[in-house]
Structure 1
């Protein structure tokens, strides 16, 4: 690898290494740095890093509470709309920390078709008269502000984004809450950075810290949240960035543990270490899911292009897309809402072959059309359900035809979940670490590594941009 030389005498300026393809400079390399006549300042903890770290701790706690309040608001709207009550706001998973109330058990019949459309209309109205920046699934919008606007997110996004997401998801929209929560946490960090006298880079760190804290608070996955920030928001591995973000995620998870306990969000029964044939199967599953990740990404933006041709004002598009979600939700109620209980069922092996095919297909159609209509909602949970269904379906097929491979359908589902996220977002390490932290099954690490690697390679070969960057690329 040839490193760029950005000083007249040919020496590297380590202060710019975060924007190159070089390895990060670690403090342990101090002697080597001196020998190469390279300054050490980028490896040191300065008073500015301590200041930003202190702000990140406060931000982590605030973002954690905001994330939990948003989840409670989603549950409240779901409880009122689908069950006509306010008695189960904490939901059946409160002891696990995901505390999500499912709308799948409603008895509304065909009336359920209208509820997502009402939420979509609310999101469209807020986008038109509030800010169109609330549309989308959160992470691409945060990336765009970092890349093009010095990490400055308008203050009104801090309340418009979670409010619009609460309406769309609470009324049955087939989205995850994690995207809006990440976006809201990032907006809080950006707001703090704009109110205080900090540099553009420090504001970026605060934005990433808030976003990572939101994710960590929902899923209890601090390391995955840190890696997500590095892969999608920070674009560097340096103490000035890692230390504040790490402290923010630890603080957020501490708040979550204090409130809801330390159980994994997606509890998975203990599984055995896979044998050679089973491991090879999981790698193949990851590769096939990699093809699916390309298709899913192209489908989302293809639907966006179709809505651009609809001869009505864009404010109405989310309601139109949500009508489709409502019809599908009437046919298969499990497709409605956040659906973390469906992820539970997948990693526990509770879905049969017919359910895997039906649910995975309908969830895909519902989510792609709804998200492509320009509403507000997350991508991670729907991708996990789609990829998990496909992975479990493939694993089940291999188990029927080649039983001596000893393929575990639960591991196949988890590999499918991680692989579709790795392929569609190219957040390769995040997919692996997140899947481990939310299930705490060490036996799944090797299948996850193999499956996500295969998915990443397929995606990189077939798709130039990702589900996170395509929107930014289209805007130039």
Structure 2
């Protein structure tokens, strides 16, 4: 079993290379950020190329809107695009289906952050075909998947852990989002609220590096400045924040309704007696019908967003845009085609805000921006991302109080009305529940001295092996015991397994301390975080860890698996138990006395 010298130096209980790894990942994030920015540029060019080919029959990568009065084109082009996407998904990779963010989350949490070269190649192409042929999507979901694939592929070239690959995957994804929209702060918050599932320097710093690198590339590749600038000022008076919160309430309800309808449509497609390869083409029929009513619902619709913010669009057209855009987006996305959700949500939320703005003080364009923040937050369960995204996208950072009010209210409504966000519901339907809540790990902020059983039973090192075997046969209450020298200093740990081995070997002579020859006994100090103690148990397979004094090396306590489990139950009790007045701290910390 295990033994240590009484005078041995303290074992290093923490990985002090974490700072080095953070710096290494930050350096690698420069490449991921560059790749994300270039990926954004390529995606935009592919969308423009597909749009020109499908609608105007010309080979050009210049950005253009879909404006057509040809009934034949409006009917045929979306269906053709849907058919192409279905074929690419069937014979290329089914990972290109959907809007990209749930697939990225699933890869992060369940796929060790490994994306294939197929995804990196096919996702932007399929999204360009889908959007260019009239699909009512934006480029943000595809670029998150594409940028993530670039970061993941780069990470797979090196010997990295799954957590480190995740960092570079998210770095590439957020760099791509920054390249498209020029919203670095919102991109970082998207990483924190939606993609990383942690808050650590190891992941946060590289993501920020990648985002800033992408932002530096953006003026050279795509162009500088806000994507949707507009001049509407913040309404005067102190009531704007309260009104924004009310608008957040409305957009939160709308976001919940959209999520319910989306998955109802998806369920409908699953009931069709045809292979899912044909679903995008079938969904494109609904897109074509919507295009016949209002051609402006086709494509990403960035021009519609700008028109809503500028306030130069008729109310009846906004109503049509709100209803028809929502309908065709739900049908197309429910069919499993390739495209994003941000641009449609911005249009739908912006249209709702614009309509409310007809009776609210100030410019309707300002309330369109607030509506965008609210619906994005309500749908994605990312309130800080929604608030910052709307403000950065329009260069209205002064409107942050209003956007955060709308985002927080919409978020609260979404939590009350929906079990999951529009993103995580898709993953849950595959049997994988994801909780988008962060909380403190009680094991990480408690120390071993607070949790240990003091003055534990020990065995003397000069005990004979025969006596030790008889002790485990007749008296032992635990599976293992610390072995100490005459000064109560730790020598090692003896277990019931050791006693059984000695019994089988009919070994009874010799001292216990001499039989423990392995020098790898896990031990901790009173100030060791309990999380590290739990890691020791996992690594060693031993369910009890001795706690020794820093100076004397005397055994002062012991921690078992059961002690660690009690921490979790105590944390649950603190969250749920309600009382009045003063009470003792839930954790008996001697330092608090």
1:456 is matched with 411
**Larger radius of gyration, structure 1 or 2?**
2
1:7 is matched with none
TM-score by length of 1: 0.85
**1:262 CA displacement:** 2.0
Distance 2:152 2:223 in 1: 29
**1:77 CA displacement:** 1.1
Distance 2:132 2:39 in 1: 16
1:85 is matched with 58
Identify, as 1 or 2, the structure richer in helix.
1
Which deviations, in whole Å up to 9, do the C-alpha atoms of 1:363-419 show, x marking residues without a partner? 0000000000011100000011011101111121x24xxxxxx23311211111111
**1:278·1:407 contact (CA, 8 Å) conserved in 2?**
no
Distance 1:72 1:388 in 2: 26
1:102 is matched with 65
Distance 1:348 1:240 in 2: 41
Change (3 A) 1:71 1:272: same
Change (3 A) 1:151 1:301: same
2:39 is matched with 66
1:350 is matched with 312
1:422 is matched with 377
| Aligned positions, number | 420
Distance 1:272 1:177 in 2: 29
Larger relative CO (CA 8 A, sep 6+): 1 or 2? 1
1:294 is matched with 256
Distance 2:317 2:192 in 1: 37
**1:40 CA displacement:** 8.6
Distance 2:222 2:338 in 1: 27
**2:89·2:97 contact (CA, 8 Å) conserved in 1?**
yes
Which deviations, in whole Å up to 9, do the C-alpha atoms of 1:265-312 show, x marking residues without a partner? 011114135423333222111101100000001111110000001111
Identify, as 1 or 2, the structure richer in strand.
2
Distance 1:180 1:310 in 2: 26
Distance 2:311 2:238 in 1: 22
**2:55·2:73 contact (CA, 8 Å) conserved in 1?**
no
Which deviations, in whole Å up to 9, do the C-alpha atoms of 1:76-118 show, x marking residues without a partner? 111121122235x332xxxxxxxxx211x22423431111111
TM-score by length of 2: 0.69
Which deviations, in whole Å up to 9, do the C-alpha atoms of 1:194-239 show, x marking residues without a partner? 2210011100001100100100000011111111011111122221
Unaligned runs of 5+ in 2: 1-11, 432-593
2:22 is the counterpart of 1:49: yes
Over aligned residues, Cα RMSD in angstroms? Answer: 1.7
**2:311·2:365 contact (CA, 8 Å) conserved in 1?**
yes
2:180 is the counterpart of 1:218: yes
